[in-house]
Structure formats: C-alpha cells, structure tokens
Chains A and B, each alone.
Chain A
Amino acid sequence: MDLNEKKLIVIGGGPAGLAAAVAAVRRGLDPSSILVLERDSEPGGILNQCIHAGFGLHRFGEELTGPEYSGRYIQMAREAGIPILCDAMALELTSDRRVTFVSPETGYVMVQAEAVVLAMGCRERTRGALGIPGTRPAGVYTAGCAQRYVNIEGYMPGHRVVILGSGDIGLIMARRMTLEGAKVLAVCEIMPYSGGLARNIVQCLDDFGIPLKLSHTVVKIHGRDRVEGVTIAAVDEANGRKPIPGTEEFIECDTLLLSVGLIPENELTRGAGIGISRATNGADVNQYRETSAPGIYACGNVLHVHDLVDFVSEEADIAGTAAAERILGQSGAVVKSLPVSTGFGVRYTVPERIDLTAEPEEVRIFFRVSDVYKKVQFFVETAEGEVLAKRAKSAAAPGEMESLTVPAEKLAGLLDKDCGGIRVYLRETGGQSK
C-alpha cells in the first residue's frame, strides 16, 4: 500500500466510516486514494456485537441484525475496492489534516491527507462518571461491555442482574441476559421516562416481565470481591433527583449493568483544536458535516449519538460525498454562513450552521427534543420570523431523533436577505406529559 497516494483518510471502520468511504467512491474518488483505519481486528464497529434485529428498515427496507447490516457495508466497501487497514490506531490529527497512526502492517506513520472523515464512534459512560457510593467489587459492567462478553466472547458475566439506565443497550441486554438464562431483577431509570425506544420497552422488558423502575437509581453497591447486591431508591424529581430517604430497597444480585449514556469519542478531534458542541459532545459542523477545520468531516456517533444506524449511514453519505467533492475540486464556494440555534423544547441540532453556496440544496436538520411531549409542532424559522419548515407530531421524546427538511428554494430565498440565523423549536399543541 502506497501511503503517499492517500488523499482521504477515514478514521474508524464502523458503519459511519464504511458508508463515508463508499459514498466518496460513488462520488468519483479513486478507491486507491482512500484509507480506512480500523482499530479492531475486523471492520464493522459496534454492530458486530449488536446481534439483535431492527437495523436497516430505512436503509434497506428490511429488518436486519447488526452483523448483517455491517456485513452489507463491508461487502460494498470490498466491491468498491476500498482499502481497510485493521489493527490500526490513529494517534494524532492536526487541523491541517495530518494523521498519525500505528499498525503492525505499516508501523508508525504520518500521512498528509486532503480530507479526513472522523468516524470514531462513541463509548459508554462508566461507574466512575456516576459516582455511585459503595464498594468496588467485580461484577459492575457497562451494558456494551457485557454485550461484547456475551455475543462476541461467548461468556456470561452474571446470573442475577440489575440494570441501571434504560437506554437501548440496557434494554437490549435485559432481554439478552434473560434469554441466556440470567434473572434480570430490575431496570432502574433516574428519569421519569425511558431513554430507550418504546419498542424496546415492549419487546425487551414487558415480554419477560422485567420491572422498569422509573425515577429510581442505585444508591449503593454491596460486596467485597464480587457484587452481592445493590440498594436502589426513588428520586425526588422536584429536588434535583436526589434519593428520597426511606425509599431504599436492597436487591440481591451478582451483576450491575450500566446503560447510562454514550460519549462521542473526540480525543483526536480535540487534539486538532476543532470546535466541539457542548450539547452533543461532538464537533460543530455545517450541513456537509464539515467541522471548524476545513477538509475535516465528522459523521456517526462521534458527531452525535444516534438511535438508528440508518441515520448514521445517511449522515456518513453526506460527509463522504462532501470529502470527495473537496478532493475533486467540486465544492461550491460559501457565500453566506447561518448559525442554527435551538429554541423551546429542542436540546441540540445537527448541523449547527448552514453554509449557503450560490445554489443551495435542501438541508435536513436533525434534532432532539429536551423532554417528553404530546402533540407538538416543530418549526425551523429565521431569526426574523420566517418559517422555513414545520411539521406536526403526536408524541416526541428525547430518545427519538427528529428531523425537518428545509427546501432548497427557501434557502435560496435567504441569499439576498438579511438573516441573523436559523432557529429550531417546538410548540406544544396538547399537554406536556410527565
């Protein structure tokens, strides 16, 4: 492999990285000028351990398991002739697109690329991030770690399980551990609603009679060498979700799984001095998923945590296409840059800015709401009050990503106007449900 010929480096060989590389080839980039770096011994990323079904309904119109979904992209990348370097760890990235990495095949190398796509994914929050009091025994795992043990290594990490956090991985693992013979005693969720998809509450908890304890958290971990139990308690919504004295309950268990959030893995991004959004913990990007460093793009869970891989692939298409256009010298010149801000009920948006070229194309703005709502209307509006897009929805929750598409002609109309930016917000047309 001639590393001097590499123009596009994709960091990460999971669903985002593979889709970005495939999109770049489709846009006309020579596959031999691309290099995908993957730190694991095989491509596919986290999907390799997500053996449950439910992937690909948007993308492929059928319900696939994680390995099947990643398998399709691995196949596409192979057919396109895209080189994937496994066991390769990216160590450093500079804002002028120099990537330093190390692998058994290449040794320690530096490559100057014309474009870089960041697709490093995310990692799980751990016990250390929560500060749960108690002892430090074996048997406390993040849900994704337990998932790897069970599905990749074929090893059961415990028999009597309590799960803290009702994110999708926690729910999926409640079912998986139950099917493999463990007893899942409870899923505790500190919030008054689950962060997971409604379908997962039904098919992972209700199907097996696993109790979901909303507004509950783990207040103590017991056990010297191995977890012997946990104490859970109800939390006070009105008082900063502090545990309510007198509601403590001891549950005897040997395992505690944590499904308490995901953090985009942006050490390389930060090292390059790229601007990071406080709301997403991912890079600030425009609609092409280009970061504050020209020619460095980001997509997938490293940019913001997605609930559906289908949207990761869509986002990676955008980033990979834009990276190819830059290398091929086909990017349009930016004539106007509009910041996208959040208004009532919206926690974050991606992109955070829209860069208008002389002939703008439609832009799909993804966003998450900040609470559980019934009957809402979403709006994309200019700072001057012109509605660019709107949509009504019967229910919205932070666990489910929303989107609104701003048509090309609306954006073209902003070229000749004074526009201080774009705002995304929601209006309640029913009652707020807690």
Chain B
Amino acid sequence: MTTRELTCVVCPAGCRMTVTLDDGGTVLEVEGNTCARGKNYAVSEITHPVRTLTSTVPMKTAAGKKMLPVRTDKPIPKEKLFEAMEILHGVKAQAPVKTGEVLIADFIEPGTNLIACRDEI
C-alpha cells in the first residue's frame, strides 16, 4: 500500500487530498475531498490525468484579423497537451462564430471537440 498527496484542481477551493493505493496501483481510498467531483478527480489523476486545454486561434472577421479563444469541450489526456497545441498552430477560424460552436470535431480524442469561446460577427 502507498499513499499520495494531491491538490484538487476541480474548483478554486483546492482541497488537499490523500489517496491510498494498493500495490497494483488501484485506488482504495480518497480522503480530504469535500465533494464527489474531487474524488473523481483524484482517481483520474492517479490512473490517467486529464486537463481542459484552452488556447487561441487566428480568426478572420469583417473588421480584420482577431484572435478567437477556443477550448476542448472535455478534458484531454495531460500528455497530449503539446500534441494538441501543435495541431492548433495550423488552425484558422472564420467569423461569424458562436460560443460553443464546434471548430474541430473529434479533436485529439474521439468524442472531444474543439469549441469557440466567444461570439464573433
């Protein structure tokens, strides 16, 4: 049995959690979390950490060039963040766009989309 100390990143409360694992790496117990999402985060962080990626892509609008904020609509595997950034460097958007509009479907992972984070006419 081993234990690991984690700081929850789910919300700004930043709960300090202690996770107990068996020798095979299976999570036995999570302590210190104050909500169910915290527990899920702890298990995911130990088994396969994920993060929501946010960035910007250049966008053509009627008024000229602008940066469009974008994000993944689900967290993606942490180790794929730089691979995702590499893809984003080749992406260009075209106004009009709506908040939540899918710019790239199945981005990095099947079922995960890259979406726009603001309205632009």
Q: Give chain A's interface residues, CB within 8 Å of chain B.
A: 48, 51-54, 57, 63, 65-68, 71, 150-154, 179-181, 197-199, 201-203, 207, 307-308, 395, 400
Contact = CB atoms under 8 A, between A and B. Distances in A.
B114 to A, nearest CB: 13
A430 to B, nearest CB: 13
10 contacts: A48-B118, A57-B12, A67-B69, A68-B99, A68-B118, A71-B99, A71-B118, A153-B67, A199-B11, A199-B12
A65 B7 contact: no
Interface in B63-100: 65, 67, 69, 71, 78, 81-82, 85, 99
Contacts of A63: 11, 52
Nearest to B32: A394
Contacts of B117: 51, 65, 67-68, 71
Contacts of A395: 16
Contacts of A66: 69
B11 A154 contact: no
Contacts of B51: 203, 207
Contacts of A153: 67
Given A65-B54, A71-B118, A179-B82, A152 B12 contact: no
A51 B69 contact: yes
A151 B14 contact: no
Contacts of A201: 7
Contacts of B52: 53, 63
B71 A199 contact: no
Given A63-B52, A67-B117, A68-B99, A203 B9 contact: yes
Nearest to A199: B9
A179 B55 contact: yes
Contact size range, B: 20 to 34
Interface string B1-19: 0000001111110101000
Contacts of B58: 154
4 nearest CB pairs, A to B: A198-B14, A51-B69, A199-B9, A67-B118
Given A51-B56, A71-B99, A197-B12, A179 B85 contact: yes
A202 B67 contact: no
Contact of B14 (A48, A52, A154, A199): A199
B12 A150 contact: no
Contact of B71 (A53, A57, A71, A150): A53
Contact of A152 (B54, B55, B67): B67
Given A67-B69, A151-B56, A308-B12, 13 more contacts: A51-B54, A53-B54, A57-B12, A63-B11, A65-B69, A66-B69, A68-B118, A71-B117, A151-B67, A197-B12, A199-B11, A199-B14, A202-B14
A202 B99 contact: no
A395 B34 CA distance: 13
Contacts of B11: 54, 57, 63, 199
Nearest to A172: B54
B82 A154 contact: no
B30 to A, nearest CB: 16
B7 A202 contact: yes
B81 to A, nearest CB: 7
Nearest to B70: A51
Given A150-B56, A198-B7, A65 B71 contact: yes
Contact of A197 (B14, B65, B69, B99): B14
Contact of A179 (B7, B16, B81): B81
A71 B54 CA distance: 16
A151 B9 contact: no
B20 to A, nearest CB: 19
B42 to A, nearest CB: 12
Interface in B8-55: 8-12, 14, 16, 51-55
A152 B52 CA distance: 20
Nearest to B68: A67
Contacts of A199: 7-12, 14
B110 to A, nearest CB: 22
A150 B55 CA distance: 10
A282 to B, nearest CB: 21
A326 to B, nearest CB: 33
A52 B71 CA distance: 8
A400 B7 contact: no
Nearest to A155: B67
B109 interface: no
A223 B117 CA distance: 39
A412 B10 CA distance: 39
A395 to B, nearest CB: 7
Contacts of B119: 71
Contacts of A197: 12, 14
B67 A400 contact: no
